[in-house]
Structure 1
Amino acid sequence: MRISRIGAASAATVAASALVLSACAAPQQESEVVEGSSITVAWNQPFYSYNSNTSFGNATANANIVYMTSGGFNYYDNTPELQQDESFGSYEVVSEDPLVVEYTIADGVQWSDGTPVDAADMLLAWAANSGVPNTPDFDPGEFTDPETGEFTEDYPTDVVFFDGSLGSGLENVSEVPEIDGSTITLSYDNIFVDWELVFGVGLPAHVVAQRALGIEDAQEAKDALVEAIQNNDEEALASISSVWNSDWNFSEMPSEEDANLLVVNGPYVISDFVADQYITLTANENYTGQNTPQIEEVTVRFITDPLAAVQALANGEVDVISPQATADVADALTELDGVTVLSGVEAVYEHIDLQFDQSKSGTFNDPIVREAFLKTIPRQQIVDTLIKPLNPEAEVRNSQLFVPGAPGYDETVAGNGMAEKYGEVDIEGAAALLAEAGVTSPEVCILYATNNPRRVNEFALIQESANQAGFNVTDCGSDDWGGLLGTPGAYDATFFGWQSTSLGVTNSSATFRTGGINNLNFYSNTEVDDLLTELDTEIDPERQIEIQLEIDRLLMDDAYGLTIFQFPGVTAYSDRVEGVDPGPLSPTIFWNIWDWTPLGSDSE
């Protein structure tokens, strides 16, 4: 599912970053790898792309693996509080007006092939996630396969397009940053309130350049990449951006000649990968940071059925699970011995989006038809049937931007119209709107995860309700639904969960801004764009809430879609491991993988 990316693919904000460094360095780890130790974790979706900064690869299933194999300037703990990792690098504001931030990689930090991490890697990260070098007005949609979500062979070779740009926040750094050794200086065009959350090192610059430019030597490859960015060499950048977009999409262990796709700079490296079964990570011998893992080998098994994950835990086949919670899962876990169960509410919310453009049938081009369809969504029935058995206090969520209980939530529910217009199913009202629109039996093909039992049940409830009003709801569901999100012509509506990745106030920008990296339904409203731009630079918390209240209302005026519920969360782990302590933000259970301690005879 596409639910992990900077602040963009996130739930509503509950706090804002200030223009000062408020994070503190985490204490130095004294741990070391326990030779021969291993654990297995179950996850509900297979890994399929190492570049989780693209629209195709932006999924929690991918981000989990990227997190465990990548170093970064900061990360969230489970409180959640932002922690700096100064063993990877440091950053400081050298000017507040204009905003200038300097990042420096720490001495000794290197990629797993021994190549130093330096300013070339950071310059590539800026180019790829700012979109500044991109060819103006290029639309990749017409070169995207509606069956797979990936770019087709007809993709042009003479355009520059990094699929990781608008809405990241780095588009506010429009001038090529200055670099010097291991330091890069970002000069923002305007104050950007979430500057601390938007920048890090992604893919290795030397590998990208080696693959794109055919240069074997790592340093020569980096130098060529830097020169291409600094000189805006469109021919070289076209190849560099194409490699950055697509080469790291792999769903099994790369071949020997593609082994450089596995070069990373974090605590773990990918050591084995079998399609649709599992991916194995092994402690990185070249990792020099403070977050040294204690478990030598971590295998993530892909188990899409939550009850099957519970059974695997019971059988000792896996040690940690965090499945989508259902009543059956909760009941089954109570029967297990030697298992610790943690429950709560996650920073993930279910929502249904309607395609505003480039949809399968064009049904929702008419706002009256959008409104009619939203009147049929049985949100309360979904919550009562599927969520309340796990959380009796569960309620329908009525905001696109605010988490229930957060400042601003009650105000937005009172004013955005979601609860008022769509609080109850209105079949007669929906049918009347279809008659007003002059359409008969409009088709709505819905994309969802067919390998997820809860989503299968949701689809059945939505289909039955909408068909009563005169819609023809058809099944566009897929096991590979995550890569299809945002693909032109693939579906008319979709429901899935957005996972919060930070507490940034600008999180919603990439989702609702015209052309935003997480704007998967091609929504566009100039008023919303202007408000998001204002939000980028607003440091007054009260005004931040006012802006978000207005955006929330405009989204409902446009019949954008509906939110449904916050996810109930459950994590269970065996007595073979300790230190598992899930956080609410992505990567949830994996945020402190280096603190997990192996227990049991096979780890002694």
Structure 2
Amino acid sequence: MSIQARFFLVLAVCLSLAACGDKNKQQNTTESADTVEATAQDINAQEREKLRQGGELRLAIANVAENWNPLHIDGNHHDYSRIRGSLLPVFFHFDSQGVPVPNPDYVLSVEVVSDDPTVVRYQLNPKAVWGDGSPVDGDDMYAKWQACNGEKKEFNCTSTESFETIESITMGEEKTDVTITYKSAFPDWSQGFSIPGAIKAESISDLETFNTGWSELNNDWLSGPFKVDSYDATQKILTLVPNENWWGEPPLLDKISWRVIANDARAQAFANAEIDAFDIASDPDAFQRALRVDNAQVRKAGGPNFRHFTFNSKAGLLQNLSIRQAIVHALDRQAIAASDLAGIDWPVKPLNNHVFLQSQAGFVDTAELTGLDYDPDKARTLLDEQGWQVGEDGIREKDGEKLIVRFMQLATVKASENEALQAQSMLKEVGVQLDIVTIPVTQFSQTLTGHEFEIIAFSWIGTPYPFSGIKQIYGTDSESNFAQLSMPEVDSIADQLATETDIAKRIELANQADKIIWEQVHTLPLYQRPELIATREDLANYGAFGLSSKRWENIGFIK
């Protein structure tokens, strides 16, 4: 299971602004490499004239959203974002290095008028319209700012960072002439108005509509190359078709169908030619099965995505920092990664930084720096010092209470199931009983946002902005701080990062924050998650995107 983060780093990391791979070169990851470039891309890139007009692209999702609002915490799911990508305004595309490039379908020009404070002027495309025919303009950008600037606490925004830094949004004689003035320097200014760049004002302006009005996808509120055609609730298939009011390059596909299929059933569905592509994630069985399918490929990229454990700091015995630290010492992340990735051509190496991948210029080995890494003897010592004594059954006790922690396992998600068993075995060695509780994937969002867990594992799926993810995931007041852990020093550093323009200083600050996050055991990174996408051989401009963004109108099948 995965969540999409909005920090400009995306997923906790652009992971490194400067240390990315070749801009235009299509790459496959190398099996023997120790590290994988964060911007590798493998999508079978083809020019439109080489592709046929028509055809249906059939894809799989875990479930259909109960809240489609891209700004709402309940809508911040990777699957939902994938679907919305062809339905909402994309102001900036991202190239293979994660660099934002204005999308002329919506933005004719963008100019940084001032650096400190940052002032940005947009000239929007007057041809851009919503599904009801009304223009995409400054009113929609203004509404987005007002909804998530942090002043309206009842609006359950995924993140407020990009918007609380704004001083004003004004318009010229035409509402497509938009000027955004920030309170100070704000180097990640494109973050808040990228994908989606704008949300229809009426869909987010009042509390009730913002929080509960997006239970279905309303074409009047959408603007993109595709629109919603139908949803079959019985078969759980959402069908998209080309938007007849689209003003850009016409979509090549006649239809995109999103079908709810359990994670462990997708490889078979692909082999049966029921779907045209699926995300293998960290599933060795699915990887091997995909390799055996005729006329198919596995496309690979090393995006800014990682598996991790989140620790609920307000749940049960995990409220005690020493117990959280002892658990970190007890977990052999190298072994967990090797087990998760067995049979997959991917470097097996623990990820020792919350912000940067090992291949990036800013990377510091924070596990080594803090000494908080695999060391069962240290785990035992910490628990001894806390008064937890080993009982006759090997499980520690204190004042009549056993040292029991719960792990929420996601059914049908192979990585989650494997990690639960691995952690259970490792923790038993130091006297900690890990009870595994299985929940269906459909309850994942509720469990996470409702903090109904002690330890849970999932993947952060990143975007190109590493630094802003610190505030979103680890900030005290953030809705995405699922660990519910307050770290005032990290809050202060995040505020500094928001206005710091010197890249070296930003990297230094980010690693200062990471040291605190690691010591406080907010989350424990496991490993960089491979982006492995099984696809039909003739499917073009689709696959493993790394840090780049999809251009849905250009996806199609080779003639």
TM-score by length of 1: 0.78
Tell me which of 330, 334, 339 is aligned to 1:380: 334
Tell me which of 488, 495, 507 is aligned to 1:545: 507
Q: Which residue of 2 aligns with 1:203?
A: 199
Instruction: From the superposition, tell whether residues 425 and 282 of structure 1 become closer, same or farther in structure 2 (CA, over 3 Å).
Output: farther
> Could you tell me how far 1:79 is from its partner in structure 2?
4.3
Q: Which residue of 1 aligns with 2:263?
A: 305
Q: Which amino acid is 1:278 matched to?
A: I
Instruction: From the superposition, tell whether residues 480 and 31 of structure 1 become closer, same or farther in structure 2 (CA, over 3 Å).
Output: same
Instruction: Give the Cα–Cα distance (whole angstroms) in 2 for the partners of residues 53 and 586 of structure 1.
Output: 21
Instruction: From the superposition, tell whether residues 40 and 262 of structure 1 become closer, same or farther in structure 2 (CA, over 3 Å).
Output: farther
Instruction: Give the Cα–Cα distance (whole angstroms) in 2 for the partners of residues 300 and 273 of structure 1.
Output: 9
Q: Is the 8 A contact 2:61 2:79 kept in 1?
A: yes
> Could you tell me how far 1:35 is from its partner in structure 2?
6.5
Q: Which amino acid is 1:186 matched to?
A: I
Q: Is the 8 A contact 2:188 2:498 kept in 1?
A: yes
Q: Is the 8 A contact 1:450 1:477 kept in 2?
A: yes
> Could you tell me how far 1:262 is from its partner in structure 2?
5.7
Q: Which residue of 1 aligns with 2:392?
A: none
> Could you tell me how far 1:505 is from its partner in structure 2?
3.0
Instruction: From the superposition, tell whether residues 417 and 484 of structure 1 become closer, same or farther in structure 2 (CA, over 3 Å).
Output: farther
- For the residue of structure 1 that corresponds to 2:330, the secondary structure is coil
Q: Is the 8 A contact 2:14 2:465 kept in 1?
A: yes
Tell me which of 556, 563, 568 is aligned to 2:530: 568
Tell me which of 141, 149, 154 is aligned to 1:130: 149
Task: For 1:62-461, list aligned pairs within 5 A.
Answer: 62-89=80-107, 90-132=109-151, 134=152, 161-164=154-157, 166-173=159-166, 175-180=167-172, 181-200=175-194, 201-208=197-204, 240-250=206-216, 260=218, 263-275=221-233, 277-290=236-249, 292-306=250-264, 308-357=265-314, 359=315, 362-391=316-345, 393-419=347-373, 422=374, 428-429=380-381, 431-435=383-387, 438=398, 440-461=401-422
Q: Is the 8 A contact 1:43 1:302 kept in 2?
A: yes
> Could you tell me how far 1:16 is from its partner in structure 2?
4.0
Q: Is the 8 A contact 1:51 1:203 kept in 2?
A: no
- For the residue of structure 2 that corresponds to 1:70, the secondary structure is coil
Aligned: 1:491 with 2:453: yes
Instruction: Give the Cα–Cα distance (whole angstroms) in 2 for the partners of residues 486 and 356 of structure 1.
Output: 13
> Could you tell me how far 1:244 is from its partner in structure 2?
0.8
Instruction: Give the Cα–Cα distance (whole angstroms) in 2 for the partners of residues 368 and 271 of structure 1.
Output: 53
Per-residue CA deviation, residues 550-594 of structure 1 (Å, 9 max, x unaligned), is 11111122122311011123222224533324311376xxx1322
Structure 1: runs of 5 or more not aligned: 23-28, 136-160, 209-224, 226-239, 255-259
Q: Is the 8 A contact 1:417 1:553 kept in 2?
A: no
Q: Is the 8 A contact 1:447 1:478 kept in 2?
A: no
Instruction: Give the Cα–Cα distance (whole angstroms) in 2 for the partners of residues 286 and 261 of structure 1.
Output: 11
Per-residue CA deviation, residues 240-285 of structure 1 (Å, 9 max, x unaligned), is 02211222134xxx7xxxxx46631111112122347322111111
Q: Which residue of 1 aligns with 2:32?
A: none
Instruction: Give the Cα–Cα distance (whole angstroms) in 1 for the partners of residues 538 and 481 of structure 2.
Output: 42
Instruction: Give the Cα–Cα distance (whole angstroms) in 2 for the partners of residues 474 and 342 of structure 1.
Output: 33
Per-residue CA deviation, residues 140-169 of structure 1 (Å, 9 max, x unaligned), is xxxxxxxxxxxxxxxxxxxxx222165532
Instruction: From the superposition, tell whether residues 581 and 366 of structure 1 become closer, same or farther in structure 2 (CA, over 3 Å).
Output: closer
- For the residue of structure 2 that corresponds to 1:375, the secondary structure is helix
Aligned-pair identity (%): 21
Q: Which residue of 1 aligns with 2:30?
A: none
Instruction: Give the Cα–Cα distance (whole angstroms) in 2 for the partners of residues 481 and 586 of structure 1.
Output: 30
Q: Which amino acid is 2:323 matched to?
A: V
Instruction: From the superposition, tell whether residues 355 and 586 of structure 1 become closer, same or farther in structure 2 (CA, over 3 Å).
Output: farther
Structure 2: runs of 5 or more not aligned: 24-46, 389-396
> Could you tell me how far 1:411 is from its partner in structure 2?
4.9
Q: Which residue of 2 aligns with 1:465?
A: 426
Instruction: From the superposition, tell whether residues 34 and 109 of structure 1 become closer, same or farther in structure 2 (CA, over 3 Å).
Output: farther
Instruction: From the superposition, tell whether residues 597 and 93 of structure 1 become closer, same or farther in structure 2 (CA, over 3 Å).
Output: same
Q: Which residue of 2 aligns with 1:149?
A: none
Q: Is the 8 A contact 1:124 1:205 kept in 2?
A: yes
Q: Which residue of 1 aligns with 2:39?
A: none
Q: Is the 8 A contact 1:364 1:370 kept in 2?
A: yes
Q: Which amino acid is 2:199 matched to?
A: L
Kindly report the root-mean-square deviation, in angstroms, between the aligned alpha carbons of the 2 structures. 3.0
> Could you tell me how far 1:189 is from its partner in structure 2?
1.1
Q: Is the 8 A contact 2:253 2:556 kept in 1?
A: yes
Q: Which residue of 1 aligns with 2:79?
A: 61
> Could you tell me how far 1:452 is from its partner in structure 2?
0.8
> Could you tell me how far 1:330 is from its partner in structure 2?
2.5
Q: How many residues align?
A: 516
> Could you tell me how far 1:389 is from its partner in structure 2?
2.7
- For the residue of structure 2 that corresponds to 1:316, the secondary structure is coil
Q: Which amino acid is 2:329 matched to?
A: K
